[in-house]
A and B are shown apart, each in its own frame.
Chain A
Amino acid sequence: GDSVTQTEGQVALSEEDFLTIHCNYSASGYPALFWYVQYPGEGPQFLFRASRDKEKGSSRGFEATYDKGTTSFHLRKASVQESDSAVYYCALGDNAGAKLTFGGGTRLTVRP
């Protein structure tokens, strides 16, 4: 079945550091890939998506590029802020574009 693996369970950075969260997927076909962010007491919020090889998704300074060759969709941000502290989830959509399969999540803590 489909699966998503996020390598880092927790990441701790200082403000203005560069962020990378690694995401690799396993799925048949050509799934859409997503990043979601979750703040305490809230449901996950859509950040962005990409649907085809080499497509870059971006939002709020975060970006990721769909790489079918390495089955990856790594999240990056050049300069993090304390307000970026949250849990980030990589996800893939099924062929119908409905059901989402989430990775285990990465808790990002940014120190001021």
Chain B
Amino acid sequence: NAGVIQTPRHKVTGKGQEATLWCEPISGHSAVFWYRQTIVQGLEFLTYFRNQAPIDDSGMPKERFSAQMPNQSHSTLKIQSTQPQDSAVYLCASSWTTNTEVFFGKGTRLTVV
């Protein structure tokens, strides 16, 4: 079990460019989550899927951010027109279902220059 896999581990984008972050959840897990971690805001929930369906995106910025889960083996977080304030570590996590232990990936560090 390789755990939750996130690629790339580091990404540098220019201001205004698009960034796509990838996540492969643990096989068999039905719940997939995205969080963002910054020094100032700490760990913030963004969105989650259950059985590939979007359930709660209450933490997603309404503009420029979108997440998808086209199949049970991967999810993507896309940020359009990246801004310096989007710089953060983006963490993907999965669990067997809700109310069970959540396993986090190592994260993707996004730097917008």
Contact = CB atoms under 8 A, between A and B. Distances in A.
Interface in A1-46: 32, 41-46
Interface in B23-44: 31, 33, 35, 42-44
Contact of A99 (B4, B56, B91, B100): B56
Contact of B98 (A49, A97, A103, A105): A97
Interface string B86-104: 0000010100001111111
Interface string A49-89: 10000000000000000000000000000000000000001
A45 B104 contact: yes
Contact of A102 (B43, B55, B58): B43
Interface in A89-107: 89, 91, 93, 96-105
Contacts of A100: 33, 35, 43, 45, 102
Contacts of B50: 98
A70 to B, nearest CB: 23
Nearest to B47: A99
* Chain A facing B: main interface SS: loop
B106 interface: yes
A45 B45 CA distance: 16
A89 B44 CA distance: 12
Contacts of A103: 42
Contacts of B91: 43-44
25 contacts: A41-B106, A42-B104, A42-B106, A43-B4, A43-B91, A43-B104, A43-B106, A45-B104, A46-B101, A46-B103, A49-B101, A89-B43, A91-B43, A96-B56, A97-B99, A97-B100, A98-B48, A98-B99, A99-B58, A99-B59, A100-B33, A100-B43, A102-B43, A103-B42, A105-B42
